[in-house]
Structure 1
Amino acid sequence: MLPDTEMAAAPLIVHLIHRLDVGGLENGLINLINHLPPGRYRHAIVCLRDYTDYHLRIERPGVEIISINKRDGKDWGHYLRLFQTLKRLRPLLIHTRNLSGIEGQLLAACAGVRLRVHGEHGRDIDDLHGLSLKYRCLRKLLRPLIGHFIAVSKDLEAWLIGTIGARPQHVTHIGNGVDSLQFHPRLGPTAAVGPAGFLCEDAYVIGSVGRMAEVKDHLSLVQAFILLIAEHALPRNRLRLLIAGDGPCRQACLDLLRQAGMEELAWLPGTRDDIPQLMRAMDVFVLPSLAEGTSNTILEAMASGLPVVATAVGGNPDLVHSGWTGTLVPPRSPAMLADAINDYYRLPALAASHGQRGRRRVLAEYSLIAMADAYLAVYDSLAAPPQRDR
């Protein structure tokens, strides 16, 4: 561990996010802080809303977490609170993320924060394709204040350059990384997970992990699960559905399963902290999102040796090579989701080969160290003293 004096002398980076809770963006931020070289930079996380126990996953000492406590709607007072917080912290660099944080760029400039980075990690249900005139104008207005953009997918990189007008030399594509030691294929019999009777002998588990919000479209997965039994005639004594995560759409999924008489075949446990173990209980992983950046859960599923069925949106095609490591289908297509899952159920060798290839690809291209090194290169290039002509 570095001496306190050396840590205190390291320049500070403020990471501005909406809320620190379970989610892909938040998981990526924590992984980044945990894997950047200790002592190079100090870190503080400023949450526009608040934070949960999810912050306990941070392994680096001395990371300050601050809540601005922004109220719903237009809370003008939160701008003053954010400005005062930045003046107190006096960071070398601020790194904002997504639409909810981009206004912080203006407050940071006013507070004298010299270096400013903005990251795009994916879109919400209100602007799935980045076409909202209001939000495009906001980003274009603030673009001159941003020293560098980071896009987690090639789709977002192209959008920042082509639609928002960012200069290509000021945009870097950095995909997420995954812990391939924590997430690994099943090494023996399936561990007992879920309530009594859920994992029956010879169960075939269709799984998903993620925030159960409308943009993730877990209802399409539930509809596909019902189709597999009702129309594809897959045996209900084997088929199981596992969706780990919480959010406003969880109850609607439970209601749909209950109406179909399949509630006992599914387990929707809400937020969990044993995702690696749950992944190893799955036979196929499904991500039916309407929009994505670079999905952490797809990478975790690939690292776990699972074939992946995902929608062909955002950064998913960058990760899933259809017909090689998984299958891509259009969004909002329960019938096509069911067809893809059915292929893996009926062709176990295909599922195994796709899962093995996915694992190899993660090991080669999506390590946490490679991700941290790419962010570090951006931070260091901005923080380096300007070169003067001799």
Structure 2
Amino acid sequence: MADVGQGRAVSPRARTPHADGGRALMSSRPLRIVHVVPTLDVGGLENGLVNVVAALPEFAHAVVSIGPLGAFAQRLPRTVEQVTLGKAAGEPMRLAMFRLLRVLRRLEPDLVHSRNWGAIEAVPAAWLAGVRAIVHSEHGRELADPEGLNARRNRFRRLLAPLIDRIVTVSDDLKTWLEETVKLPGAKLLVIPNGVDTERFSPARRLEGRQALQVSDETTVVGTVGRLNGIKDYPTLLTAFAEVARRAEHVRLVFVGDGPQRAALEAAAAALGMKERVSFLGERTDVPALIAGLDVFVLPSIAEGMSNTLLEAMAAGRPVVATGVGGTPELVEDGVTGTLVPARHPAALTKAIDGYLWDAGLRTAHGEAARARAVMEFGLASMASRYRDLYRALAARREAV
């Protein structure tokens, strides 16, 4: 992984295309950043990417998807070049890495930012391409390794760490995992929490949301937004809701989103006798209104980095019931902005939902506190500013070398 010059190994990054005469060019043009992601399907990581790119128009962005581009590709600004490597499931990482290497040599970025395990091959590819600065971020753990204990993956993370200038996590929980379990150097780790657009997600859209949900004022709507996959543990939510619904005729459950578990969840709802009380809305473009139209937002995940949809629910002034996993306790203040419950615990989930169902005053108090916290601590502008500072600092440092 090195070239040879004057009898010694030379990192490709020491012979970057922008070296020497390219330094003057860098100062007169926008910083070129290539973001590498596993896919551009619907998800929290992808949502965060779209937010960062849209909030930093002063940079020249390109997005490379290791797999299919997916639905979120449509949300990126039109000025952003999009590339898919078309990696198939089970295809060796090295093949995608060499395809990515060719793309990076064509794009000649100043900085590459890869996200999550599914795009980690971008790190050696960027190093080989001579990219000046490399950032890798972890946004959450995968269903295949929810505790982050996979020894092979963690060895590979340690192997690549010297090639990375900065490793970003979206929560303190993920930073602690990388430092204490994976054994990455703490000096390279940086926490940048996700941010939320508190104007787009707002209680002001409640009437619009109730109309979109087609429910009356007397109906209490419990809902969730996310990809319908195993790590969200929606079967536990269905079990808990069925118990709640048997005691309350006026309550409904809404799923917003799609995914591989949709058919199984629909079948489970029918088997529980809840087919008429549970709605699966699929992917929607009016998510801000739908969230504002809910009475209680539920996130039953078995693992989380820092949930974007949870932040969106808080910004919309919704009380939250969530499992106390990953970075969620860093967002939800138990008993103040929402209620935390153990993962995979239907009875606890039932009790928490019940507590809001019969107490409109509690829903209002926790919802208002959640909104206030989202506005004060997790605004989109704050997140964008921290990424802007990081990108500029790394590019300037590399330019000076």
Q: Could you state the TM-score of these two structures normalised by the residue count of structure 1? A: 0.92
Q: Which residue of 2 aligns with 1:148?
A: 166
Check whether the contact 2:206–2:293 (CA below 8 A) recurs between aligned residues.
Answer: no
Q: Which residue of 2 aligns with 1:165?
A: 183
> Counterpart of 2:46 in structure 1: which amino acid?
E
Q: Which residue of 1 aligns with 2:322?
A: 310
Give the counterpart of 2:241 among 176, 201, 225.
225
Give the counterpart of 1:210 among 218, 226, 232.
226
The answer to which of 335-344 and 167-176 deviates more is 167-176
Q: Which residue of 1 aligns with 2:313?
A: 301
Correspondence 1:28 to 2:48: yes
Q: Which runs of 4+ in 1 moved over 4 A?
A: 5-8, 186-190
Q: RMSD in angstroms over aligned alpha carbons?
A: 2.0
Q: Which residue of 1 aligns with 2:106?
A: 88
Q: Which residue of 2 aligns with 1:16?
A: 36
Structure 1 residue 78: deviation in Å? Answer: 2.1
1:114-155 per-position Cα deviation (integer Å, ceiling 9, x unaligned): 211000000111111111111111111111111101000110
Check whether the contact 1:14–1:91 (CA below 8 A) recurs between aligned residues.
Answer: yes
Structure 1 residue 7: deviation in Å? Answer: 11
Structure 1 residue 200: deviation in Å? Answer: 4.3
Residue 184 of structure 2: SS of its match in structure 1?
coil
Give the counterpart of 1:290 among 302, 321, 324.
302
Would the alpha carbon gap of residues 294 and 92 (structure 1) be closer, same or farther in structure 2, given more than 3 Å must change? same
The answer to which of 308-317 and 374-383 deviates more is 374-383
Q: How many correspondences in the alignment?
A: 375
Correspondence 1:57 to 2:75: yes
1:189-233 per-position Cα deviation (integer Å, ceiling 9, x unaligned): 463234xxx624511000100001100111111111101123xx1
1:344-378 per-position Cα deviation (integer Å, ceiling 9, x unaligned): 11121111101000100111011111000011111
Structure 1 residue 55: deviation in Å? Answer: 2.0
Q: Which residue of 2 aligns with 1:273?
A: 285
Would the alpha carbon gap of residues 7 and 268 (structure 1) be closer, same or farther in structure 2, given more than 3 Å must change? farther
Structure 1 residue 12: deviation in Å? Answer: 1.0
Structure 1 residue 54: deviation in Å? Answer: 2.2
Cα distance in 2 between the residues matched to 1:297 and 1:185:
15
Q: Which residue of 1 aligns with 2:16?
A: none
Cα distance in 1 between the residues matched to 2:264 and 2:205:
35
1:308-345 per-position Cα deviation (integer Å, ceiling 9, x unaligned): 00001000000000011000011111111110000011
Give the unaligned 5+ runs of structure 1: none
> Counterpart of 2:125 in structure 1: which amino acid?
L
Q: Which residue of 2 aligns with 1:72?
A: 89
Correspondence 1:185 to 2:203: yes
Cα distance in 2 between the residues matched to 1:8 and 1:42:
13
1:68-104 per-position Cα deviation (integer Å, ceiling 9, x unaligned): 0001103453222111111111111110111111121
Q: Which residue of 1 aligns with 2:18?
A: none
Check whether the contact 1:51–1:67 (CA below 8 A) recurs between aligned residues.
Answer: yes
Would the alpha carbon gap of residues 248 and 7 (structure 1) be closer, same or farther in structure 2, given more than 3 Å must change? farther
1:242-285 per-position Cα deviation (integer Å, ceiling 9, x unaligned): 01011111111111111122111111111111111111221000
> Counterpart of 1:312 in structure 2: which amino acid?
G
Give the counterpart of 2:395 among 380, 383, 387.
383
Give the counterpart of 2:340 among 328, 348, 352.
328
Check whether the contact 2:220–2:252 (CA below 8 A) recurs between aligned residues.
Answer: yes
Check whether the contact 1:7–1:42 (CA below 8 A) recurs between aligned residues.
Answer: no
Cα distance in 2 between the residues matched to 1:181 and 1:369:
12
Q: Which residue of 1 aligns with 2:144?
A: 126
Would the alpha carbon gap of residues 349 and 14 (structure 1) be closer, same or farther in structure 2, given more than 3 Å must change? same
> Counterpart of 1:327 in structure 2: which amino acid?
T
Check whether the contact 1:293–1:316 (CA below 8 A) recurs between aligned residues.
Answer: yes
Q: Which residue of 1 aligns with 2:331?
A: 319
Cα distance in 1 between the residues matched to 2:231 and 2:277:
24
Cα distance in 2 between the residues matched to 1:347 and 1:191:
19
Check whether the contact 1:219–1:252 (CA below 8 A) recurs between aligned residues.
Answer: no
